[in-house]
Each structure stands twice: as structure tokens, then as C-alpha cells.
Structure 1
Amino acid sequence: MNNIQTQLETLRREIDQHNIRYYVEDAPSIPDAEYDRLMRELQAIEAAHPELITPESPTQRVGAKAAAAFGEVTHEVPMLSLGNAMDEGDFIAFGERVEKGLGHSPAWCCEPKLDGLAVSLLYENGVLVRGATRGDGATGEDITQNVKTIRAIPLKLQGQYPQRIEVRGEVFMPRAGFEEMNKKALESGDKLFANPRNAAAGSLRQLDSRITAKRPLNFYAYGLGVVEGGELPASQYARLMWLRGLGLPVSKEVLRVDSIEAVKAYHDAILQKRDALDFDIDGAVIKVDSVVDQDELGFVSRAPRWAIAWKYPAQEELTVLEDVEFQVGRTGAITPVAKLQPVFVGGVTVSNATLHNADEIARLGVKIGDTVIVRRAGDVIPQVVSVVEERRPAEARDIHFPTACPVCGAHVERETLRTRLKSRVIEREGTAYRCSGRLTCSAQLKQALIHFASRKALDIEGLGDVVVEKLVDAQLLASPVGIFELKREDILGLEGFAELSTDKLRAAILRSKATPFNRVLYALGIPEVGEETAKLVAATLGNVDNIRLAPVELLTSIPDVGREVAFHISEFFTEANNWQVIEGLRSQGLNLGDADAKVNLAPLGFNDFINKLDIVGVGPGAAEKAASRFDSLEALIQCAQDEQDLFNALGGTKAAAKGLAAFFADSANAERALDIEKRLLALQVHWSSERQVAEAADLPLSGQTFVITGSLSVLSRDEAKAHLEALGAKVAGSVSKNTDVLVAGEKAGSKLAKAESLGVATWDDQALMAFLREQGVIDAA
């Protein structure tokens, strides 16, 4: 048996090495026939001794029988998307932001932007234990059996590896494999794939991994997620080379450069050889090379500040504009859609393209019958970019934008855009035209309901576009509340529904009542409120009643909620019809938040409150001075009745006194300010809220501002931030005269120099750890 075990291990090791030479080093040392002979020998021995088969054996790539469904995987470290640079100007602006943020010019790691599907590979003790799709960045699908069939992905790592390591990369289909697969499909009469990206994505999402095993898929690693039990190289490029040493394929086109000019040269060079590559790319990914610099720059929303995807010019083709249809969206926007003579662009056949709006039609000067240039970039909706006027036929017709809704006949009005400045609002015409029918317009109602039931909202399986349209057309649905009032006979009476499908839809509707509050909030379709904003608002305010009560001035205290979004939220929740829908959903038992939820925000300071009123002549400094001179809002309003008294009270601040006096002279402003104060008190985020002030006073770092920079040796910066915030500190991103302590790790850089120039106290790693141990936040050991 020992001889057989040794023979098995030798064969597996030899096959693994050939896989590395083929996929990682691009230097195969044996012909395919010899490789196949080695595999057959291994399979024969394992068939005779099945007790010796291991999960990482090369024979385990054949796939397994079909699964019922993919499981969910929660990413321990979110798989973030990248911001895009569509041209050189965008990239230069990105580079300038990076240099400004770091205070120096960094080195860069340049990589081709593969046009495939992002995946996560988790290895424990060197063995592949899980594969997952990116999904929405927070949660993906478990595709372990499928990724195990891809020969380029090692089932066991080589050399010295961490105890636990998550490798991230792109699964793609090489062009040669794609063409061969489509050739065979054509010969057998099967459906053809449109492009390699769709083919790769479809192959990875096969429930039967035996099908995936037959597809010519490849993989390139480009980054890391969670890593435990090992030291990592300190740069992006070094990490990629280190991954290659573990037996993972990395693109040969990866390059480290030292300047913006070299990045531009790389971008242009890859563009020139784009068509010669054996895989599809749609740009170059540019990353700051130093991991310390990456940590310094951090993230914005769902994307890193230290990386960008510099896209290549979109692919374009000529075709004929045969007609224009006008569609009505969820918000009532009228969108002109070009009906095109079908043309193959960017890997797909395009027959429709967006014309955006009336202004765009006028800018293009396009007519029905024109020959036009159509552009399609990746998954972006195709668009008409220009007209070939010399090909215009004599019978070309003008495009007339409708004055009445093409669906309900209601008046079409041009949108009004509002810019809110201090004490005034500037209105101007927007580019969109909207149907004024709102939910009386079946098109808007349908789109609102489709959004409400969509996967990222209430995820009501079976209530898709077609079913919603049938229910609305049958006058069985007039609002989201009606979904939960549908009777069995209502659904059963629809074309295409039998008893089983009816019961499945009713069960899905019932299950959706347990949807988390943040997704219900997203489902409501509040303008400008996407998934991430809905999560933040739900986590901060806790329930719909708190949101309705929250004034704009408080909403803007929520991270990433700007003034326009705050106004949209406030207007939505104070509009009577919207609140009627919310109350209807409450009566149906939907999750509208924890009824006892407290607002997860520190009390709004009196000075912050005054500043947020946007009074002309009153900035942060004047607001702070006013807050220090008056012990209540009533006292400030009373004094503001006399500008001279206010001038004296503020210590001779003329502009602020004039602005405050003029602002509060308008009784509507005074009433609004008092109403805001009343709401803040109700929400317990008033500056004199005894409960929260007492709680804050009990925390050792209450009122202190910390900044963290450099690389910490024991804790991650996120862990250090969490500990400091738990002790009452505010952790800011930059050093200022208001900073109390700078925590400086290795390679602290410009923030340390600024702190020293301002006389800000500085802690090193040891001082921070000692303080946290003293407070009992971490163990003393």
C-alpha cells in the first residue's frame, strides 16, 4: 500500500506541476497526449483504491451531479467595484487626487481589465475549500464545485502559504476556446453564445458542474480578501508575483511602473495589442502599488480611492434608425428609444439604443431614416452617438417629442431642477420630460411595482415584469399594498397561472413580509435612494416613523447623504399619498423597522444646528460663536429681533449678525427652526438631550478627535477605529487643529508631519495598545 500511496502522490505532484507550467508559466513541457496518459494512469489507480482519493486530487475536476440551487456566501471582506475613467482626462484627475491624498507621487501596478466574471477562492491549509461569485459585493453564490473543474485553479497551493487565504480573480473564456465551443454548438444545432464573457458567466452558473467541466474556462488572480496566519508582501505587484509562486495564474501583462506617464504608455500599449490577446479586455486596471499607500487613501462608498478602471474606447458600428418609440419609466421620465436595423456591436446584436432625451435628439440632429453610429461599451446600454448626414435619405422624418403621455395621455411636463443655496433656491429647467399622471399612469405604476418586487428589493419570486403588467391591466393592482391583498382567485384567473404556480406566488408574497427594513426602504423607490443609501438610513434611523420625523438638517448628518438626497427623503415621507402607502404596508405586517429603535447619531451640536440652517453670513465659526453666546434657540431668536443687540452679543461679527437678524425676521424661518428643534428633541438627538449627553459624558474619549495613519503592527486600522469609537472618540480622516491625538504606525507620512507642526499629541502602536488594555477593550496579555 505504501508503494501505491507513493505512486499516487508522485503522479498528482507531476500533474499539478504540468498545470502550473501550462497555466501559470505559459511554458508546457509535454504534449497534451502525454498529459492525458498521466491522468488516465492516476484515474485507474484511484478507481482501484477509492479510499486513497483526496479532495485536491486532479481527478476531482470532472464535476458532480446537478445541485438544486446555489447556496449564499457572505464575503468576510466585501468585494468592491472600481470607479471608471472613460478617457485620459478622467484618469489624470484620478492621479491628481491620489497624489494630493498621499502628498507624493506613488508607484503604480498596471493590469489588464479582464472581461469575465469576478470570483473568490478560499484556501485553508493550502486546500481549495470554497469558490464564490462576487454577487452584490457583500453576498455571492457558492460555486465551489464549478471552480474546482477549472484546471487553471489549483486545488492545492504550492510552497509556503498562510493558514487561511482568500484569492480573488477573474474567470474568463479564452477566445480560441470560445470559438471552438460555438463551432461545435453550430454543428450540433445548439444555441450559440453571444461573446466569451456571457459564455464564462453562463458556464460558472451551471447547477450541474459536469457541464462546467466541459467548458474551456481560465482564471487569473488579481488580489486578496481575508488572509490569516501569514505575512504578505507590501505591494500589489509583489503580492501578484507571490500568488504566482503559490501556483496561481497571473496575467503576463501585469506591470509595475513609477510614474503617471508610464501608466499612460502601458494603457496605450495594451490597447494596441488588444486584438492580439487570447482573451477579451475592456480596459486597464490601475492601482497604487504600495499597500500602505492604499490604506492611507482608503475607500469612498463602494470603491477604493487607490484604484480605477481606465476603460478603452467603446466599440462602434453603423446602422439605420428605423423608428423612435417613447417609453415611460418608474419616475414618469419619457425616454426616446431608437429602433435600429439590427447590427452586431461589442459582441451582441443591437436593435434598440437610447437617445436619452429631447435635448440629445436636438444635439444630434437625428432623423428617422438616418444612418447613425451606435456605441456599446461592455454592459452599458447601447447609444446613438452621431449621425452620418451625407447618407441622409430624402424621405428622412423629424422626431417629435410627445406633449401627452404615450401611455395614459396625461400632460408631459419638463422637469425643474433645484439648487439649494443659503436661504434661497435656484430653479432651472432640466433635460427630462415627465408624465404628470404619476401612479394613475399604468406605465409608472407597473415600473414602480416591478421595482418593489425586484430581487434587491422584496425579491418576490414569480412577480416579474409580465405578471405585474397582467395584474395592472386587469385592474387588480393599484399600489404596492395591493400585492398583499391579492386573492387566490385573482391570480388563478390570470393567463398562464395554474393552482401550483398560484400557490407558489402567494407563498413568495407571504415570505416577502419578512424582508429586512433596509430593503423595504429601497423598494419604496425614493428618488436618489439606492441600496447603499437605504442601508445607511435604515441603520441610522431605525424605523419609518423616525425617518418621517427626521428633518433635512439631521438627514445630512448621515454619512454619504447629501442635501439633495436628504430633501428627496424628507419630501417622500411627508407626501400624504406616500405615507398612506407606508401605513398600508404596516397594516399588512411588513418590516418597517424596530418600533423602539433609537437614532444612531450623536446629538446635533447647537453650533452644527445653526450652521445647517444655511443662513447667509453664518459659517461654522460664526455658528460656534452664536452657540456659545446663547443657551437656547428661543434666546437666539429673541435677540435676533434687534440686529444691534445681536451684533453686540456676537462680539462685533457684523455679517453674522446681519444674516441672523434677516433670517429670523421671517416668521416662517423662526417657525421652521423651532419645528426642527422639536423633532430633534423627539428623536433624542437634541444638543441638550439629557440621556445622550449623560451617556456621552460617561465615555473616556467623549468629545475627542483621533486620526489613524500608517501601518499598525497588532491591530488593523479598522479594528483600532472601532475600539476608539466605542470609547466615545470621533475618528477623522485628516489632521487639523481640532485633532486631539494622531495614532501613527509605520510609514506614517504627511499626516505625522502635519500633526507635529500643529502640536497635536501623537501615539505610536505601543501607546495605543497600552491605552486600550488600560480601558479593558482588549486583553492585557
Structure 2
Amino acid sequence: MTIQEKINQLRNTLREHNYNYYVLDNPTISDYDFDIKLKELQALEEANPEFYDANSPTLRVGGEVTKNFNTVTHEHRMYSLDNSYSLEDLKDWETRIKKLVDGDVAYTCELKYDGASISLTYENGSLVRAVTRGDGFQGDDVTTNIKTIKSVPLKLKGSYPLKFDIRGEIVLPFDGFVKMNEERVANGEEPYKNPRNTASGSLKLQDSAEVAKRPLECLLYNLTGTNLGVENQFESLVKARQMGFKVPNEARLCNSIEEVFQFINHWDKERHNLPYETDGVVVKVNNLYQQEELGYTAKAPRWAMAYKFKAEQVSTILKEITYQVGRTGAITPVANLEPVELAGTIVKRASLHNADQIEKLDIRVNDEVFVEKGGEIIPKIIAVDLSKRPLNSEPTQYITHCPECQTPLERVEGEAKHFCPNYNGCEPQVVGRIQHFISRKAMDIDGLGGETVALLVKEGLITNYADLYALNKEQVMPLERMAEKSAENLINGIDASKQIPFERVLFAIGIRFVGETVAKKLAKHYKSIEALANASIEDLEKVDEIGVKIAESVVAFFASEENVNTIRRLKEFGVQLEVSAEKLANLTNKLEGKSFVVSGVFTQVSRTELKKLIEDNGGKNVSSISSKTDFVVAGDKMGPSKRDKAEKLNIPLITETDFLNML
């Protein structure tokens, strides 16, 4: 046997033992014998560096140091999940689904593990990249750290797609968490607060050898890509197990929503016996073709729903109510609490939402209040223990003036919040707008964070986001924690943001009610900031899905002379304030005013490409057939009930070829 054959044999043997131990929980060799084989392989690799393999079992011990984690764009977006908190919510969800797809609907139910989301990319059976969820569009490359987690296969078993992503959760089992904390306490260190945050923090440790010491596990639940060789979600879980991934066995295929309820009720009680933290159940439409039919909203798949178990509640004392000013001028009252542990973290503050909420619950300072951590990240007060209220208690008087600039507050009829109208003179609004402008989904300016923005405003270097483009290295170098290199990176990051496309710039400038999706629609319709600025409320309301509230807000934004000057300066600095010529070349109005339902399987272009062609040519994609639908693009396997409905309403059924000929 040659040296190379010996090395490959040892690698394969160690991979198999690793799989048996960490994935199957069924060791077939003693720890001592495993270590002897690992040391033998290490010695052979060191003596024969020409046979280096980036996915060798010897590299799981870590040792590589990462100073900066590179940002990577996800090839397939990582969506959030819509949450439900009652069985009625799930029934409503099922009703919506059945209106959009034909045939029986089955569901895969999986436990929702509470950890750090991860996306693993495999090519030709080898792990090539591991990226955190980030904002769903892009995350941090943490491949070096993920390779130290023993339940992540570096090489796959059996048959597998040539290239695919698999999504999962990095978790820290309770036993390992307890053991880690015992060691920390013994060393005189502070114990970690909870498994979830510890798992998440582990992914960004600079020394991978430190990550290797932590008993992290990776639980996988979703194959993503093309030509995956599976037809439904449950089958994909089985396939993932066969490839060597650790896929929880608790998942169940349910043929009705009643069976889904049984699964939820069972695990609501049994979850406390699991080795990991879990906070709910994820219910997915099982059939992948039906998933494709259902598609996505702007934030979440329509074919999946997270059912959250009842949130943990605690009681504590409300010590003080303070008020925060947001970037839009909205005032948010905040409860400052006697610190209390809730769901593994120490809670000191809770949102009170608005004046109506305070009045409804009659919340007062010194009350004993019940706090809950539900679907929101920020805890909320859900009730007051009136039996413990002090005798000298006084009702809460909501503030009348801005806590930052003392301007009298305003409240628009029909709106829940009070607002500070001092748009350009109230510092938190100014800072908040610039922080929104530089955020990842907006201008995504490298080297510039929220704290630096606040510092730049405080030092009088900027008063609005256009001022960023006038900064130079010499101005920012004297700032706290700013060296020459970081100052250079900041200026370069600002300059690079001039290439950000118009739709994201439109989101970044912070027009009230204009989120990511609305910004895309407005950019596509008006194609330049000038056209948008000249639009009337009536014009704006004619744009698909733009209501009077958004229309009024857009017009009010451009009615401000200061805003118009800021936009003019952005244009002078070279920021993209119109759709690029390259993108315009692919846009037409050929399908303007026409709505399409796309249903079935297509051969010449994918369903996603087909929908994009509709939008790029001025048409509108709708999910269900109605009398307002102009065309149904009917592919292979289109459901009979959709076909019947289209024929009953006399809506033209066109083929993929017919549609492409229209263009």
C-alpha cells in the first residue's frame, strides 16, 4: 500500500467512526483507538504535505485564526418564517393554502430548534462554504469554525447532488452547556447565560481551536438548490440523513391539519425532555411542487409556518418609564424593570408600545408587572398585578414634549404613536436616519457602523446622509478608536456605495412607509428620483399596491426643501438615483396593466424566470385566479381546479411558448 493510499484509508476510516459517534450516536470504536488513528494520520500528513486535503478529519481540531469574517451573498435567499401562536392561526393558514394549490395537502412537521442559523454549501460531495444567516441576503463566512463541529460532514456519503445548499441550526446541547459553565465557574469566570447565545457567539470566535473545544452540534432541515433528486420535504430529510447529515428523527409526515395539531400538542409537553432548546414547531407543505406554486411573500415562504409554544412569563417591578425617539420621530415608551431572568437572558427593559397600551393596561411606576418574551426579540408587559399595587400609586401621564429636543409632540388622528415634528433638529432622528441609510439592506457601507454615525453627528461632521460623501480621511482619523487604516476603509466604503442600485437608495433615504418591497415597486414604476418627486398623490395611488398612506408620505417627503436639497447633493456626489441603462434595456411596458397567474411546470424557462419576465415587462403576478386575471400561463401538471376556474371565468389559458411570443 502506498503512502497516499494509507492516508486515504485512514481518512475514510476516521470519517466513518466520526459519523457513527456524532451523527448516529452509536460509537463503534473506543475514544482511545480513535485518537491513535488520528495521530497516525496527522504524522503521515505532516511528513507528506503534497497529499493535503482541506477536508481531512485532522483539521477538525481547529487552530486557524480568522481576523475578519468576509461577507458572502447567499445564492439562495434565507427567508424568515411567519409565526403563529394558536391552532386557529394554523387553520387560517391552511385555508389560504388550499385556495392557491390543487389536490390534497400533506405537511412535514419539524421541531424548531433554538440556535444559530447556518447555510452549508457542498460541491462534488465536499463542504466548500458555511455562511451565517445574516440578513437573509448575505451573511458571514464562518467555514473555518464550522469545520470543527463533528456532526458537520466534510465529505458526503452515498449519492448526492453535484452542488447544493443545506440549511440548519447550530445548537449547544444542555449537557454540554452545563459542563462548559461548570468549568468556567471553577476557573473563576462568569457562566454563560443560555445555550442559544453561546452557540451563536461561538461562530464568530477568531480562533477555531476555541470553537473546537465547544460541544456544538449542527441539526439540518432543508435542502436548497436545483436537481436535488427529491419530490417532497420529508423525502429530503431522509436523503440528507443518507448523505451523512445529522437530521433530527422527531420530524413527522402529517396528512391533515388535525395530525399537525396532535404533533404540536405532543411536543408542547415532551419538549422539556429533549437534549436541546426548542421553542416551537415548523409546519411545511410537504410537496415541493406545491411549495413552488405557493411561492414567497416579501419576507417569508407561504408554504411554511412556525408555531411558537406559549412564551415564558415572569413578574418583576416597573421602576421607571422612559421615552425613545426613532428615526421617523415616533416616540416609544420603554419600561425600565428590576432585572429578572426570562428565557435564559436577564431582562431589564420592555417595550410599552404607545400611550393607548399604557392606558389599556393601566401601567404605572412601581407596579408589579408580568413580562413575556414571545415572537418579538424585545420582551413586552402583558399584565399588571393589581393586588400588589402601592396605595399611593398615580396613573401614568404620557409626555407632551420630545424627551430629546423639547418640541411639543403631535399625534395624527388614527395613528397609535406620538411624534416629534422636529425632523431636522432632533438629534436621535438625524442619527437614526443616517444609521438606516448605511444599514446592510440599504447602502451597506463597509467600515461604518451605528456608533461611528452617532459620533460623526456629535462632532458636527455630518448633519444628514449626503454629508457622508463630503467626508475625507483627515476629518475622521481623530475620532475615537479610528486609526489610519480604518479611516481609509470608511472613506472607501462610502465611495463604493455610489454603485448601490436605485431601488436600494430609495429604501435608504428613509421615506416613511417605504420599505424594501415598496421601494422596488416605486423604482421600477418611476425609474428615476425626479419622476417620483414630481408624482402627485393620485399618480402614486395608481401604482400597484401603493395606497393613500404611502402616497401622502412620498409627496410630503419631496415637499420638504431640505429633503430636496439633500437628494440634489446625493446626485451631485454620484449616488444612483435612477434605474441603470443596463437594467432599463431589459424593462418594457409591453404587459402593463395585465395580471398573470403562473401555474404548472415549465421547460424553456424556470417559474422564477417567467415571473421575473412578467414584472420586467410591466405585468403583475397574482397568486390566485379571479375575474380580474388577464391570463393564466399554464404549464405541465397544472391543477384541474385552476384550469376549471379559468375556463369558467373565460380567462385565456396560454402556454409558455405563447407567453414568450407575447414579448
TM-score (norm 2): 0.90
Separation in structure 2 between the aligned mates of residue 114 and residue 134 of structure 1, nearest angstrom = 15
- Deviation digits for residues 124-175 of structure 1, max 9, x if unmatched? 2111122222222222222222222211111111111122222222222212
Separation in structure 2 between the aligned mates of residue 594 and residue 761 of structure 1, nearest angstrom = 33
User: Which residue matches 2:277?
Assistant: 280
User: Which residue matches 1:693?
Assistant: none
Q: 2:604, 2:656 within 8 Å by CA — same for their partners in 1?
A: no
User: Which residue matches 1:330?
Assistant: 327
- Deviation digits for residues 590-627 of structure 1, max 9, x if unmatched? 33235878698765xxxxxxxxxxxxxxxxxxxxxxxx
Separation in structure 1 between the aligned mates of residue 4 and residue 127 of structure 2, nearest angstrom = 22
Separation in structure 2 between the aligned mates of residue 476 and residue 570 of structure 1, nearest angstrom = 29
User: Which residue matches 2:15?
Assistant: 16
- Relative to structure 1, the CA distance from residue 232 to residue 575 in structure 2 (aligned partners, 3 Å threshold; closer, same or farther) is same
Separation in structure 2 between the aligned mates of residue 727 and residue 563 of structure 1, nearest angstrom = 25
Q: 2:109, 2:252 within 8 Å by CA — same for their partners in 1?
A: yes
- Relative to structure 1, the CA distance from residue 210 to residue 314 in structure 2 (aligned partners, 3 Å threshold; closer, same or farther) is same
SS at match of 1:394: coil
- Relative to structure 1, the CA distance from residue 243 to residue 490 in structure 2 (aligned partners, 3 Å threshold; closer, same or farther) is closer
User: Which residue matches 1:299?
Assistant: 296
User: Which residue matches 1:163?
Assistant: 162
Q: 1:369, 1:395 within 8 Å by CA — same for their partners in 2?
A: no
Which residue identity is paired with 1:17?
Answer: E
TM-score (norm 1): 0.77
- Pair 1:754 & 2:608 matched: no
- Pair 1:718 & 2:608 matched: yes
Aligned pairs (5 A) from 1:59-208: 59-190=58-189, 192-208=191-207
User: Which residue matches 1:446?
Assistant: 431
- Pair 1:524 & 2:509 matched: yes
Q: 1:703, 1:730 within 8 Å by CA — same for their partners in 2?
A: yes
Instruction: Give the CA deviation at 1:343.
Output: 0.7
- Pair 1:239 & 2:236 matched: yes
User: Which residue matches 2:398?
Assistant: 401
- Relative to structure 1, the CA distance from residue 561 to residue 600 in structure 2 (aligned partners, 3 Å threshold; closer, same or farther) is farther
Q: 1:407, 1:441 within 8 Å by CA — same for their partners in 2?
A: yes
Separation in structure 1 between the aligned mates of residue 457 and residue 469 of structure 2, nearest angstrom = 14
How many residues get paired?
661
Instruction: Give the CA deviation at 1:439.
Output: 1.8
- Relative to structure 1, the CA distance from residue 243 to residue 486 in structure 2 (aligned partners, 3 Å threshold; closer, same or farther) is closer
Q: 1:414, 1:433 within 8 Å by CA — same for their partners in 2?
A: yes
User: Which residue matches 2:366?
Assistant: 369
Separation in structure 2 between the aligned mates of residue 237 and residue 720 of structure 1, nearest angstrom = 28
- Relative to structure 1, the CA distance from residue 305 to residue 6 in structure 2 (aligned partners, 3 Å threshold; closer, same or farther) is same
Which residue identity is paired with 1:380?
Answer: I
SS at match of 1:590: coil
Which residue identity is paired with 2:635?
Answer: A
Separation in structure 1 between the aligned mates of residue 647 and residue 136 of structure 2, nearest angstrom = 39
Which residue identity is paired with 1:278?
Answer: P
User: Which residue matches 1:566?
Assistant: 551
SS at match of 1:444: helix
Structure 2: segments with no counterpart, 5+ residues: none
Q: 1:80, 1:304 within 8 Å by CA — same for their partners in 2?
A: yes
Larger RCO of the pair (alpha carbons < 8 Å, separation 6+): 2
- Deviation digits for residues 367-398 of structure 1, max 9, x if unmatched? 21111111123661111111111122234343
User: Which residue matches 1:593?
Assistant: 578
Aligned match for 1:543, one of 528, 549, 572: 528
Instruction: Give the CA deviation at 1:9.
Output: 3.5
User: Which residue matches 1:661?
Assistant: none
Q: 1:541, 1:600 within 8 Å by CA — same for their partners in 2?
A: no
Separation in structure 2 between the aligned mates of residue 757 and residue 146 of structure 1, nearest angstrom = 58
User: Which structure would you say has the larger Rg?
Assistant: 1
SS at match of 1:265: helix
Which residue identity is paired with 1:709?
Answer: S
- Deviation digits for residues 413-464 of structure 1, max 9, x if unmatched? 2223xxxxxxxxxxxx322112232222223223223323444434455654
Instruction: Give the CA deviation at 1:59.
Output: 1.5
User: Which residue matches 1:744?
Assistant: 635
Q: 1:112, 1:281 within 8 Å by CA — same for their partners in 2?
A: yes
- Relative to structure 1, the CA distance from residue 38 to residue 565 in structure 2 (aligned partners, 3 Å threshold; closer, same or farther) is farther
Separation in structure 1 between the aligned mates of residue 300 and residue 411 of structure 2, nearest angstrom = 34
Instruction: Give the CA deviation at 1:508.
Output: 4.6
- Relative to structure 1, the CA distance from residue 16 to residue 366 in structure 2 (aligned partners, 3 Å threshold; closer, same or farther) is same
User: Which residue matches 1:612?
Assistant: none
Q: What percentage of aligned pairs have identical amino acids? A: 38
- Deviation digits for residues 91-123 of structure 1, max 9, x if unmatched? 221121112222554111000111122222221
Structure 1: segments with no counterpart, 5+ residues: 417-428, 604-695
- Pair 1:339 & 2:336 matched: yes
Instruction: Give the CA deviation at 1:288.
Output: 0.6
